Structure 1
């Protein structure tokens, strides 16, 4: 038998809060840098507990849509609150640890090989990727394309057909981990600095140093709020009746 009669999932209350916040931001014409009402006010106006408001804010933070400043309120990072469906986040949260483990295992070796095998044209390609990411960061962007180019250039510099094929086989998952990491506050500039350290080691043909620099970088990449978020943490007892 199929699973058509499987138990129906109850919509999480904080997902409904997110929907209301998205409508509010659009109706009020708010944009990046604007402040949302205080949690207490939102809870009163929506008829839910502050716990549900906090859960909604955390989900929006995980997606890089808002920034919660300690003691200073919550501010929009983007011009809309077009949040991903929570189920997408849940599925990515399940995949991410394996992807990050694979990246550390493969890319650390790639950096070591790149230091040993790189050519002048390889160094030029890596440096061009750094310049691209540097420009993106200077313009306030996340540096996603520059990051992609950098890791692709290091992979190319390793001159390992098989490892390059492994990287290609998980390209979509790597893109997910890249986007997840680079939307963490302050992460683009930090990643750029770490890329430069990797490049310096590759330039010096220091394989051990290049591998260590790549490992440090990928362990930073792995520090994302999504992995500490618990999507099932609903203990406030709110019900749809409160709406």
Structure 2
């Protein structure tokens, strides 16, 4: 415990991988490794240095962004905006929110098994409802709306096909948790366009085809691959690093130096 002006400060104990990395980056700010206005190293460099996946680094940067410590400039990178007042203070915004890629991993494990079981239980009525959800997705995509109710309905229909109310409740809870997540919303704020939804619609069609054949293995694999595609596309679409940035290869710009000779 730390005492300041007779106020007890409870240390922030990280519960999630991104929080641990976020605290390390926050401590580096406090230690003077970076100054306000500095560009942080690319995600891949941070991931390699701290020996974690790039998705964990992305989540840690979202945490710092929500705390108003860094600013993301699309296609340029992450810049220091403010300095933290306390390395161990808990964010009132993030709290214990799960990271978006951690959520996707949980969904991948849950929903692939739901799809496998659904393929053994599915009825013609279930297939009709899934087709209707797929058609709703097509209509939403064609209209250009950001509404993704067809996407959610399709996944829910698969859970309902298991005839297991607990699995249905678990799926609903995972979607509700995502929709109320500040981390998830911040990730999506860096994504432009809707083209990726066409790819996911095609994934859904493959899942539906496997369910229509009542093929559990194909349904499980199709769902697993779909959510893997979602993860990879979100990582690519929300990438904030400038692919041409090479400022860390030199202590100063060599072209400028040559021009001054």
Aligned residues, how many?
168
Residue 188 (structure 2) pairs with residue 188 (structure 1):
no
Which of the numbers 235, 238, 249 marks the counterpart of 1:225? 235
Contact 1:143–1:188 under 8 Å retained in 2: no
Aligned to 2:214: 205
Shift of 1:129: 0.4
Aligned to 1:57: 74
Task: Normalising by structure 1, report the TM-score.
Answer: 0.55
Aligned to 1:130: 134
| SS at 1:158 equivalent | coil
Q: Which runs of 4+ in 1 moved over 4 A?
A: 9-14, 87-92, 176-185, 226-230
Task: Name the Cα RMSD after superposition.
Answer: 4.3
Whole-Å separation in 2 of the counterparts to 1:12 and 1:139:
43
Instruction: Specify every segment of 5 or more residues in structure 1 that has no aligned partner in the other structure, as ranges.
Output: 15-51, 61-86, 237-243
Instruction: Specify every segment of 5 or more residues in structure 2 that has no aligned partner in the other structure, as ranges.
Output: 1-6, 13-25, 39-69, 78-91, 242-246, 249-261
Whole-Å separation in 1 of the counterparts to 2:146 and 2:132:
17
Which digits, 9 at most, give the CA deviation of each residue in 1:182-238, with x for residues without a partner? 9565210000000000001101101110111101100011122387658xxxx99xx
Residue 117 (structure 2) pairs with residue 117 (structure 1):
no
Task: Normalising by structure 2, report the TM-score.
Answer: 0.52
Contact 2:104–2:227 under 8 Å retained in 1: yes
Contact 2:75–2:239 under 8 Å retained in 1: no
Which digits, 9 at most, give the CA deviation of each residue in 1:45-89, with x for residues without a partner? xxxxxxx99x422499xxxxxxxxxxxxxxxxxxxxxxxxxx969
Whole-Å separation in 1 of the counterparts to 2:94 and 2:235:
11
Cα separation, partners in 2 of 1:88 and 1:135, compared to 1, 3 Å: farther
Which of the numbers 150, 154, 172 marks the counterpart of 2:154? 150
Whole-Å separation in 2 of the counterparts to 1:197 and 1:181:
25
Which digits, 9 at most, give the CA deviation of each residue in 1:23-50, with x for residues without a partner? xxxxxxxxxxxxxxxxxxxxxxxxxxxx
Shift of 1:152: 0.8
Shift of 1:161: 2.3
Residue 180 (structure 2) pairs with residue 163 (structure 1):
no
Shift of 1:154: 0.8
Shift of 1:178: 8.3
